[in-house]
Amino acid sequence: MRKENIVLIGNGMAGIRTIEEILKKEPNRFTITIFGKEPYPNYNRILLSKVLQGDSDINEIILNDYDWYEEKNITLYAGDEAEEIDKKKKVVRSRQGRECPYDHLIIATGSNAFMLPLPGADKEGVIAFRDIKDTEEMISASKKYRRAVVIGGGLLGLEAARGLLNLDMETEVVHNSSYLMERQLDEPASRMLKNDLEAQGMRFHMAKDTEKILGKKRVEGLKFKDGSTLEADLVVMAVGIRPNAVLAGASGIDTNRAILVNDHMETSVKDIYAVGECAEHNGIAYGLVAPLYEQGKVLAERICAKARTGTGYQGSLTYTQLKVSGVDVFSAGTFQDEEDTKAIRVHDEFEGIYKKVVVRDNRVVGAVLYGETADSPRLLEMMKKGQDITGLGKTIILPSEQEGGEAGSLTAAMEPFETICGCNGVCKGDIVEAIQKDGLTSVEEVKKHTNAARSCGGCKPLVADLLAHTLGDEAGEGLQEEPMCGCTDLTHEEVGEEIRTKQLTLTREVMNVLHWKTSEGCSKCRPAINYYLGVAHPKEYEDDPSSRFVNERMHANIQNDGTYSVVPRMYGGVTNPDQLRKIAEVADKYDVPLLKLTGGQRIDMLGIPKADLPSVWEDLNMPSGYAYAKSLRTVKTCVGEDFCRFGTQDSIGLGIAIEKKYDRLNTPHKVKMAVSACPRNCAESGIKDLGIVGVEGAWELYAGGNGGVDLKGGELLTKVQTTEEVIDTISAYLQYYRENARYLERTSHWIGRVGLEHVKSVILDNKEERKALIARMDTALEALPEDPWKSITSNEKKREELFEQKKVEVLQ
């Protein structure tokens, strides 16, 4: 039977949650195609502020990676925006010329950031804060400029300001109201927030209206309507969003402020639906994640049932529960004082806690909690149910304010039906049942099994408390160390140790012996197991390509349009005419759309179809640059003493030697190195996983740097006299990192966790251990296959036969 075609326009949180709900109900019924404007898989937009603040990187906020789309047989066109809907032919056409027929079309185009139409708003350095590109632009600007101004004192503006402070920028916030976050807080709570943020270093300009943006090509400042000015190198507008209904309106679908939908998320055109911020239901376009997810469930039910069922979507009680710049905040409903309302107030200036519960006709209709939000689930439930509170005392309405301020467990007194995670609609009973039924022992497992804490993360403390309360004495250390994934209760460290002590040698063997909860594992644990097995048994272990990410399997990086990027190796960034001619010939032969010089001093060949990859590599006959792999990526070099008048050492020679020695070595995450011939650091050695800097008669080694989103300078590891000592120190350092870091843990995070002094004590002070680490590194290097293409396409049947033999020996 022919599968029905679902086309989703928009790869954001609301649209993908709808697809997830559909796949839960009908995993094999539909062929699904998704068009996404941004060149990324589905990510958590709410947590962009965490990336800006340096608490997360882009990979950590990805909700569904490229492997998820592949596993679900979903075709994703990331970076290709849908621009035409042909209602008669039921076809969607994209900017890149694709045509996709649909039986069901879901529009989830979200919102666009609103940019104030000020004179000068088009200048360089004036941006919004809405997506990954905006976040990266702010991070990039912080490396060149010092003065940042955020226009907007709402939630998003304050999060942007906090991130810019973390990037060491002088940060000013301009707000047209007399107090901050007026949509979420009343005036007393706002004053407390302003005081807390001023203590963090923010400066505020309240009740200010911007007249124009000053500067020539790039922004230089702001002029206000009162005539005053403010200097700025970067201006971030965070003044609101507007539903993106342009495509729908141009296609003849009824719109108002957003796309008009009924209770079943149907638009005015048959078989076309809208969900999320771009949808308007009963005059309201919701901008918070919880209503969008509720809409997604309703739409999934409508599509899968082929008819309208139930009452459909009836609107949502809007509320906010977030951590604003380190302070817990909750607000819901009607929280401002009105003539027919009364309020219960708790204000503790010493502890920085403010609570206000607004009551009308003996029912809770709104609340503001600042600094301590444990009562939010109970209050939210009261508002949803319209509970009559006649006769209830303050300690029942605000139980955490009981005598002595000790509330014990935050969740113990909650009823099973009370909501823990408002974003995803997960109640206490759902989580308790999952903990008991599936043996969950960590927040990460609860997140995977129930979706609680998957969105804004504000309910993580409640989830952790509920875990501890439910597990009791069995909780132990399980809440402190997250397991590798939901397939196991074991941490990364425990899995690695079990592999070594039990001499496990195969992926499936590990999962059987260690009692995996799923027979095939998942995209998190399989690559990790594969890595740990390779480190434990460098000579014996045969790499499992099925446990590699798609980029590693293809030896190329997948791009937003489904093509691939190929990067040949250029040791130390050095090339010659023969290599350049060969690259040019291959580019001509395969009509490669773009050749791009990389930051790692190589040439990136972009836009190669998947089917051409084997032939391209064969024709190049060059080593892979491993630009896709968890291994040594590049060793960047300056020109060194032979050419530079400031150079004190042979940086090119050492860089090439390092890159050739550790080429193709598997590591927990990507590793980048650099060699600079003098302290001028032209190769950027100070922000690499390992950076080497030449000084007169010696080399300095810097460890744990990171030049990505989470910018971090390397710390001085040691100073040595000879290139032989440099190589030995690198071998000891890398091997210790390989054996002790968690899979997908960058060296900067690893150093931050274990401490550089500890690493020094092992690889520098302990001579015997240093010698053993170097020996194990040499063993690992000797075991590397000669031809990576052969290793990536190794015989799967051989692996299965070996597994069957081992199973008889080990699993009896």
For 432, left (φ over 0), alpha (ψ -120 to 50), or beta?
alpha
* Spatial distance between the Cα atoms of 810 and 499, rounded to a whole number of angstroms: 13
Query: Which pair of structure tokens corresponds to residue 604?
Result: 């990136």
> Is 644 assigned to a binding site?
yes
> Is 638 assigned to a binding site?
yes
Residue (of 400, 394, 352, 392) closest to 374 by Cα position: 400
Partnered with residue 94 across adjacent β-strands are: 82
In this structure, what is the dihedral angle of CA atoms 14, 17, 19, 20, given to the nearest 10 degrees?
180
* Spatial distance between the Cα atoms of 334 and 359, rounded to a whole number of angstroms: 9
Partnered with residue 606 across adjacent β-strands are: 565, 594
Q: Under a CB-based contact definition with an 8 Å cutoff, are residues 198 and 380 in contact?
A: no
Query: Which pair of structure tokens corresponds to residue 568?
Result: 């040949």
DSSP-assigned letters across all residues of 270-323: TTEEE-STTEEETTB---SHHHHHHHHHHHHHHHHHTS--SS-------EEEEE
Q: Under a CB-based contact definition with an 8 Å cutoff, are residues 701 and 719 in contact?
A: yes
Residue (of 94, 423, 85, 451) closest to 274 by Cα position: 85
* Spatial distance between the Cα atoms of 63 and 14, rounded to a whole number of angstroms: 12
Q: Under a CB-based contact definition with an 8 Å cutoff, are residues 82 and 35 in contact?
A: yes
Query: Which pair of structure tokens corresponds to residue 313?
Result: 């979507």
> Is 678 assigned to a binding site?
yes
> Is 278 assigned to a binding site?
no
Partnered with residue 356 across adjacent β-strands are: 345, 368
Residue (of 672, 688, 673, 667) closest to 737 by Cα position: 667
* Spatial distance between the Cα atoms of 154 and 424, rounded to a whole number of angstroms: 23
**Strand, coil or helix: 378:** helix
Sheet holding 715-720, edge to edge: 632-637, 671-676, 690-695, 698-703, 715-720
Query: Which pair of structure tokens corresponds to residue 386?
Result: 């319209």
Half-sphere exposure of 725 (CA within 13 A, CB side): 13
**Strand, coil or helix: 382:** helix
DSSP state, 172? E
Residue type, 696: E
Residue 632 vs residues 280, 569, 705, 720, 741: alpha-carbon distances, Å: 50, 11, 14, 22, 15
For 540, left (φ over 0), alpha (ψ -120 to 50), or beta?
alpha
Q: What is the largest CA-CA distance in the chain?
A: 88
In this structure, what is the dihedral angle of CA atoms 509, 511, 513, 519, given to the nearest 10 degrees?
-100
Residue type, 183: R
Residue (of 589, 545, 584, 593) closest to 565 by Cα position: 593
* Binding residue positions: 638, 644, 678, 682
* Binding residue positions for [4Fe-4S] cluster: 638, 644, 678, 682
* Binding residue positions for siroheme: 682
